[in-house]
């Protein structure tokens, strides 16, 4: 039933567009300044005007019918009720999802103690040795 009303609705929409485009332009918006038309007391009663009103009325009726049919075929639940909610990651694992976990640099287990007396930094093995006098 819904598909039949939908096809009729689409045909009415196309016919309404065609009839409106065939009408003569009055030169002003909403029939103003044309010496008559829809907004005046003596509205034009041409054949195209009557056809336009008839198609517009049928278009509104099919719109209401489609709304009523769609309402009857839906359930009483919301669309958001069917969305699965993922639980967030545990609070003890910092980082952004999808980046592979922790964003902090890895900590080394062989760090020197805080009370170490040496202040020299270890030499890079790829660098040449420092001169002996300096």
pLDDT of residue 42: 45
pLDDT of residue 8: 96
The SS3 call for residue 15 is helix
- Out of 24-28, 32-36, 38-42, 61-65, which region has the weakest mean confidence (pLDDT)? 38-42
Q: What crossing angle do the helices spanning 47-73 and 2-22 adopt, rounded to 10°?
A: 150
Distance CA 102, CA 37 (A): 72
Tokens 């039949």, residue located: 4
Contact 12, 5 (CB under 8 A): no
Tell me if the pTM is above 0.85. no
To the nearest whole percent, how much of the chain has pLDDT over 90? 29
Tell me the pLDDT of the chain averaged across its residues: 74
pLDDT of residue 25: 77
Domain ranges of the chain: 2-26+41-75
Q: pLDDT digits over 78-133, tens only?
A: 777 777 777 665 555 555 555 555 666 767 666 555 555 555 666 667 777 777 76
Q: How far is CA 72 from CA 29, 34, 58, 67, in A?
A: 40, 46, 21, 9
Residue predicted with more confidence, 49 or 87:
49
């Amino acid at each position: 039933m819904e598909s039949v009303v939908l096809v009729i609705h689409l045909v009415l929409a196309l016919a309404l567009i065609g009839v409106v485009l065939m009408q003569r332009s009055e030169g002003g918006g909403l029939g103003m300044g044309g010496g008559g038309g829809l907004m005046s007391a003596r509205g034009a009663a041409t054949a195209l005007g009557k056809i336009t009103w008839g198609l517009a009325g049928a278009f509104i009726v099919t719109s209401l019918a489609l709304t009523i049919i769609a309402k009857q075929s839906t359930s009483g639940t919301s669309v958001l009720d069917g969305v699965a909610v993922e639980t967030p990651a545990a609070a003890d694992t910092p980082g952004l999802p999808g980046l592979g976990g922790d964003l902090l640099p890895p900590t080394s287990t062989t760090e020197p103690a805080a009370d170490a007396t040496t202040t020299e930094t270890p030499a890079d093995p790829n660098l040449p040795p420092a001169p002996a006098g300096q």
